[in-house]
Amino acid sequence: MKLIFVGPQGSGKGTQAKKVAEKFGLCHISTGDLLRGVTGDLKSEVDLVMSEGRLVGDDLIVKILKEKLSSEECEKGFILDGFPRNLAQVDMLKEISDIDKVVEISISDEESVKRVCGRRNCVKCGEIFNVYSKKPLIEGVCDSCGGELIQRKDDNETALRERLKVYHEETEEILNRYTSVKVDGNRSIEEVFGNIIEVLS
Ligand code: AMP
């Protein structure tokens, strides 16, 4: 299965992509996570672009993605989370792989702001908490592994508004290029997950 998950920031597409990938033995590819892992000469430039909520260059992201897709863990299929983000990336993806299904998870901008600005990520295991809706037992400490919880640099309202603008102006357009199924993201994680499994089968 080769899937793309599309949705505004905070729609839960990362969480759902992870769960669906686990269920079907697929490789979950978050381009945001891949970029956060960039080291060396490119790191400072990538960090700056991301912290301002802009998109990094298409060539760089495609190079990183190609490397990941050719790894053994992606042999059974994959879920792209955060890619493609504009029409140029859709065209570049066509050269690399075909796609079976596109799942759109929708929420309003106001819901996105509420969810994203309260988000806290574990630096060690990546588990995601929320200061409003999924508080850790001890403030700043991950329930799963004891790691430190931090707020991503781009999870503040200024950067988020920019990211939402890019989403509406560029990313939403990619939905015109695929046949997609829309899932309402304004529900519990398990309800949304159930709905995605339904539309995939
Ligand atoms: P995300 O974790 O998906 O919210 O992505 C965080 C940031 O990484 C975005 O705001 C962009 O700066 C960058 N990014 C992630 N995926 C892409 C992509 N496909 N193309 C360009 N920039 C990306």
Give the sign of the dihedral formed by CA 64, CA 66, CA 71, CA 77: positive
- Write out the residue range of the structural domain in which residue 56 sits: 2-108+164-200
Domain contains 139: no
Between the CA of 137 and the centroid of ligand 1 the distance, in Å, is: 30
In a domain, 120, yes or no: no
pLDDT tens for the 201 residues of the chain, in order: 999 999 999 999 999 999 999 999 999 999 999 999 999 999 999 999 999 999 999 999 999 999 999 999 999 999 999 999 999 999 999 999 999 999 999 999 999 999 999 999 999 998 989 998 899 999 999 999 999 999 988 899 999 999 999 999 999 999 999 999 999 999 999 999 999 999 998
Best of 6, 55, 163 for a ligand 1 pocket test (most atoms within 8 Å of beta carbon): 55
In a domain, 8, yes or no: yes
Mutate to test the pocket of ligand 1, among 31, 48, 58 (most ligand atoms within 8 A of CB): 31
- Ligand 1, pocket residues at CB < 6 Å: 9, 31-32, 35, 49-50, 53-56, 61, 82-83, 85, 89, 154, 163
Q: Is 85 a catalytic residue?
A: yes
In a domain, 149, yes or no: no
Q: How many domains does the chain have?
A: 1
Long-range CB pairs of 57-62 (<8 Å, 24+ gap) are 58/86, 58/88, 58/89, 58/92, 61/31, 61/35, 61/89, 62/89, 62/92, 62/93, 62/96
Catalytic residue among 19, 85, 115, 120: 85
Ligand 1, atom 6: closest residue by C-alpha? 32
Q: Is residue 173 part of a domain?
A: yes
Question: What's the whole-model pTM score?
Answer: 0.91
Q: Which atom of ligand 1 is nearest to the CA of 85?
A: 19
Look up the CATH number of the domain holding residue 52.
3.40.50.300
Domain-located, residue 101? yes
User: Does residue 93 form part of some domain?
Assistant: yes
Q: Residue 122 domain-assigned?
A: no
